[in-house]
Amino acid sequence: EPQIVWLRRDLRLTDHAAFTAAAQAGPVIPVYILDDETPGERKLGGASRWWLHHALESLQKDLGRHSSKLILRRGSVCDVLPKLAEETGAKTVHAIRHYDPWWRKAQGKLKDELDLQLHDGNYLLPPGSVTTGSGSPYKIFTPFKDSMFDAIHGFDILPEPSLSSPDSWPESDTLEDLDLLPTKPDWAGGMRAFWDGQHGTAAAMERFDRFLDVSKDYIDDRNLPSEDATSRLSPHLHHGEVSPRMLWDAMGNYTSEGARMFRAELIWRDYAQNLICQFPKYAMEPYREGYDDNFWRNPNRGHLIQEELEAWQMGQTGYPIVDAGMRQLWATGWMHNRVRMIAASFLVKHLLIDWRHGEKWFWDTLVDADYGSNGTNWQWVSGTGVDSNMFVRIMAPLSQSEKFDAGDYIREWVPELADLSDRDIHDPSDSCRPKSYPAKLIGHKEARERALETYRASKD
Ligand code: FAD
């Protein structure tokens, strides 16, 4: 009897417990359902859709090697899956468990209607695996990380199973029917150039091998945005072309500080899931009290604030490092982590705009946009989250820029400043700033004072 494997952000065959279980039970029907209903306002953003197209294409090829197929459908999973089960006579649906609040709801609902077998596998350990001494889930990263390191003793990676096909295949949409690529206008040129056709499991593992060669320098170089010194695997991990367990395992005997730091970054990814399991709205609502609409200069209060938000989005704030990051994001769908922190902090503290506007922009423009990771990092930068109150720790974008960029990153993404000296490029004075580059939206000192004053006033 055929077994359905329902795929979401787990677009791979290796280390995929749902594929493995299904293959043991019978012929396998893999299905991906493009569902813009179930996630509500969290439907996939534009950049994620672009990546998804290529990830699906690559999975189709991998399945082709097994003479298998990927069935594509559109609609609400709660309608489509039961129908597909009926059509094919499949009684069991296997899937990897996901923790985004809309998926948790849908998983619960589907379990009432069919035999849905959920398997772990997209995280190092399932959320809830490590707890504090008193048995509650962790809220703070460092003790969570330490417990994870203690709890993990390597992984048994599931090999790619051999798949047999059903007697007949159900109908499928084509990849083009899903309409995931931009057409008019085609804004994906920068993405194609940056990612250079590198999609799917094999490409991700190749990229990882390359990263291993430089991983001993990761501790120092991971903060330098002009260097290709981090793994850049975040979109592959987000869409599940590789599992973090595969990377942990492939790291094998690498014991450098850099290797440990990389593993700690993978634990950050698990940590974000641990938080959204405890606080499902973590990406949508500040955890701390006092950061409601009154606190922020919200764009709906006036067109000038709206214009500032747009200047940030388009990389026109007058702060070269912020603008370089925002333009890298717009062009490639990815931004270096150090610059994500600087740019996010600038929106929240310098412009005093609610972090949720930034979170939404990232949701639409990142190829790795992830409900848990994005929300967790935005709340962390903003100081509105579970960590001790950090709003008053205000990052200085200009000194960050001098510290982490020798100017090359800015020259690449803000070409109108390319001719400025290494000294001027971080903070071009009016006398050397080209006309095509805007003046600062607000001075650093003034912005800092405004933020601190707003904070003090909110406490009165
Ligand atoms: P590497 O340094 O090679 O790290 C390896 C992997 O560890 C990453 O691919 C990622 O899966 C994970 N990781 C690393 N840092 C973090 C982190 N701080 N939080 C969670 N996971 C992490 N990452 C996302 O995957 N999706 C997001 O939507 C996202 N939004 C962010 C928003 C803000 C404001 C900030 C400051 C960070 C955000 N990050 C997000 C985290 C981080 O910036 C990216 O994961 C990282 O830059 C990806 O590059 P890399 O693969 O080269 O990372």
Note whether residue 339 is domain-resident.
yes
Number of compact structural domains in the chain: 3
Name every residue whose Cβ is closer than 8 Å to that of residue 53 and which is 6 or more positions away in sequence: 175, 178, 180, 181
Atom of ligand 1 nearest to the CA of 238: 25
Q: Are residues 131 and 275 in the same domain?
A: yes
Kindly report the backbone phi and psi dihedral angles of residue 4, in degrees, each rounded to the nearest multiple of 5, phi listed first. Answer: -90, 135
One domain, residues 99 and 10: yes
316 and 436 fall within a common domain: yes
Nearest to 119 by CA among 27, 28, 7, 238: 7
**What type of residue is 363?**
W
Q: What distance in angstroms lies between residue 421's CA and the mean position of ligand 1's atoms?
A: 31
Q: What is the pLDDT of residue 345?
A: 98
Q: What is the pLDDT of residue 210?
A: 95
Max intra-chain CA distance, the chain? 75
Residue 249, SS3? Answer: helix
Strand, helix or coil for residue 200: helix
pLDDT at 184: 86
Q: Is the pLDDT of residue 389 over 80?
A: no
- Is residue 286 in some structural domain? no
**Same domain, yes or no: 72 and 206:** no
Q: Is the ipTM of this complex over 0.90?
A: yes
Residue 167 inside a domain? The answer is no
111 and 59, same structural domain?
yes
Please tell me the predicted confidence (pLDDT) of residue 362.
Answer: 98
18 located within any domain: yes
DSSP class of residue 75 equals S
List 115's β-bridge partners, or say none: 92
Boundary (domain end) residue, out of 120, 144, 175: 120
Q: Would the CB of 368 count as within 6 Å of ligand 1?
A: yes
The domain boundary, picked from 91, 120, 149, lies at 120
96 contacts 16 by C-beta, under 8 angstroms:
yes
Percent of the chain with pLDDT over 90: 95
Q: Which of 50, 331, 330 is nearest to 189 (CA)?
A: 331
Q: Is the pLDDT of residue 459 over 80?
A: yes
Same domain, 270 and 308: no
From 247, 279, 311, the end of a domain falls on: 279
Spatial separation of the C-alpha atoms in residues 196 and 217, rounded to whole Å: 25
Give the bridge partners for 31, in sequence order.
6, 71
Give the per-residue pLDDT at 255: 83
Whether residue 293 is contained in a domain is answered as no
Average pLDDT for the chain? 96
Protein residue with its CA nearest to atom 4 in ligand 1: 265
Residues 219 and 360 in one domain: no
**Distance separating alpha carbons of residues 24 and 119, to the nearest angstrom:** 14
- 431 CA → ligand 1 middle, Å: 38
CATH of the domain at 433: 1.10.579.10
Backbone angles phi, psi at 295, to 5 degrees: -70, -35
Query: Tell me, what CATH number does 30's domain have?
Result: 3.40.50.620
Q: CB neighbours of 108 closer than 8 A, spacing ≥ 6?
A: none
C-alpha to C-alpha distance for 375 and 394, rounded to whole angstroms = 19
Q: Is residue 111 part of a domain?
A: yes
In the structure encoding, which two tokens stand for residue 31, read together?
A: 């299905």
Residues 6 or more apart whose Cβ sits within 8 Å of residue 303: none
Please tell me the predicted confidence (pLDDT) of residue 401: 96
Pocket test for ligand 1, best of 368, 376, 395, 400 (most atoms within 8 A of CB): 368
For residues 248 and 319, state if they share a domain: no
pLDDT tens digits for range 287-311: 999 999 999 999 888 899 999 999 9
Residues 80 and 137 in one domain: no
Residue 390 pLDDT > 90, yes or no?
no
Residue 206 maps to which CATH number? 1.25.40.80
Quick one: 140 and 104 in the same domain? no
pLDDT in tens, 101-114: 999 999 999 999 99
pLDDT tens column, 226-256: 999 999 999 999 999 999 999 999 998 788 8
The one-letter code for the residue type at 37 is E
| Beta-strand runs (E) in 235-305 | none
**Do residues 304 and 330 both lie within one domain?**
yes
Residue 65's identity, in one-letter code, is R
pLDDT tens digits along 266-277 = 999 999 999 999
Q: For the segment 187-236, what is each residue's pLDDT rounded down to a tens digit? A: 999 999 999 999 999 999 999 999 999 988 999 999 999 999 999 999 99
**Distance from residue 460's CA to the centre of ligand 1 (Å):** 36
Q: Whose CA is nearest to atom 45 of ligand 1?
A: 234
What domain range is 377 assigned to? 299-459
CB 287 within 8 A of CB 245: no
Distance 336 CA to ligand 1 centre (A): 8
Closest atom of ligand 1 to 368 CA is 26
Does residue 291 sit within a domain?
no
Tens digit of pLDDT for each residue in 148-175? 999 999 999 999 999 999 999 999 999 9
Q: Is 12's pLDDT higher than 90?
A: yes
Q: Is the CB of 270 under 6 A from ligand 1?
A: no
* Residue 370 and residue 448 share a domain: yes
For residue 171, what are the CA distances in angstroms to 26, 30, 74, 82, 84? Answer: 20, 12, 12, 15, 10
Classify residue 331: in a domain, yes or no. Answer: yes
C-alpha 7 – ligand 1 centre gap (Å) = 23
State the pLDDT confidence band at 388, using cuts at 50, 70 and 90: confident
Distance CA 391, CA 265 (A): 23
Residues 17-48 pLDDT 10s: 999 999 999 999 999 999 999 999 999 999 99
Q: Do the beta carbons of residue 342 and residue 401 sit within 8 Å?
A: yes
**Ligand 1 mean position, distance from CA 405 (Å):** 19
The predicted pLDDT at position 203 comes to 97
